[in-house]
């Protein structure tokens, strides 16, 4: 069964450093998303991406965040200068259709020290 | 009012019991509805989509009442493996660019032997 994959599974970084989280969506999916979940809190939408551009972003997704699809398979989330409050689980998701079911990767746990 | 509201639980039930979860959502323009389950520190996994006509998948039955903005999930004959957090999720998407999922905080189910 096709699945979304993410690397790394755990990333530890110092405050102020840049991190790149990587995702490989399901191959025939056209819509890509990033969500995050702070420990003990609900899953929150960050950004959606379609046709090589951002289609929607949340208030959380400020200028420190960016997304890219550098090739036909990878989808990345970059945090330019990490803050302590960026510590969370980051989930990538993809869907075949816009209102269709979204499938999540296993997540990257980001710890900012 | 929260966008998606759920009773956090926990629901402690014996094996074999029937348990029901409820959820309300605030935006009447919501287009699609889902139940996901999330195991501790894992990604949300799609359990089922929810349709106005109601739908069933084995021991799981989901119902949607658009007039009351209310979604339910019924689990019959609970198994130990059903222990997880159940997430009520809505999508405001209109088939175009807006496809973000809005998550509830989840309801914790613990099935006891």
With a cut of 60, say whether residue B97 has pLDDT above it.
no
Mutate to test the interface with B, among A7, A43, A49 (most CBs of B within 10 A): A43
Q: Which pLDDT belongs to residue B25?
A: 95
Map chain A to HEC letters. Answer: CCCCEEECCEEEECCCCCEEEEEECCCCCCEEEEEEECCCCCCEEEEEEECCEEEEECCCCCCCEEEECCCCCCEEEEECCCCHHHCEEEEEEEECCCCCCCEECCCEEEEEC
Averaged over B16-25, what is the pLDDT? 96
Rg (CA), chain A: 13
Please state the rounded mean pLDDT for residues A57-85: 94
CB contact under 8 A, A55 and B46: no
Q: Is the pLDDT of residue B95 over 70?
A: no
Q: Are B112 and B96 in contact (CB under 8 A)?
A: no
B96 pLDDT above the threshold of 70? no
CA B27 to chain A, closest CA, distance in angstroms equals 16
User: What is the rounded average pLDDT of the residues B15-39?
Assistant: 94
**Residue A75 contacts B, CB cutoff 8 Å:** no
Asked if B40 has any chain A CB less than 8 Å from its own CB, the reply is no
- CB of A42 less than 8 A from some CB of B: yes
Closest Cβ–Cβ partner in B42, B87, B100 for A48: B100
Nearest CB to A43 within list B41, B44, B49: B44
**A72-110 per-position pLDDT tens digit:** 789 999 999 999 999 999 999 999 877 778 999 999 999
In this predicted model, what pLDDT tens digit does every residue of A47-56 receive, in sequence order? 999 989 999 9
Residue of chain B whose alpha carbon sits nearest to that of A6: B43
């Amino acid at each position: 069964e096709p699945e979304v994959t993410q690397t790394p599974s755990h990333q530890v970084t110092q405050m102020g450093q840049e991190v790149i989280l990587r995702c490989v969506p399901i191959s025939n999916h056209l819509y890509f998303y990033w969500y995050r979940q702070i420990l003990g809190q609900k899953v929150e939408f960050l950004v959606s991406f379609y046709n090589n551009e951002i289609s929607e972003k949340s208030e959380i997704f400020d200028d420190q965040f960016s997304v890219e699809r550098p090739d036909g398979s990878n989808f990345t989330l970059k945090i330019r200068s990490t803050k302590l409050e960026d510590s969370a689980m980051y989930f990538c998701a993809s869907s075949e259709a816009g209102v269709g079911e979204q499938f999540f990767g296993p997540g990257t746990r980001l710890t900012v020290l | 009012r929260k966008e998606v509201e759920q009773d956090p639980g926990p629901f402690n039930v014996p094996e074999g019991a029937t348990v029901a979860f409820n959820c309300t959502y605030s935006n009447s323009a919501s287009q699609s509805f889902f139940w996901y389950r999330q195991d501790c520190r894992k990604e949300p996994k799609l359990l089922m989509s929810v349709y106005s006509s109601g739908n069933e998948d084995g021991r799981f039955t989901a119902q949607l009442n658009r007039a009351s903005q209310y979604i339910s999930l019924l689990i019959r004959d609970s198994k130990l493996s059903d222990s997880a957090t159940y997430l009520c999720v809505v999508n405001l998407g209109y088939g175009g660019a807006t496809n973000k999922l809005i998550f509830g905080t989840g309801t914790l189910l613990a099935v006891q032997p």
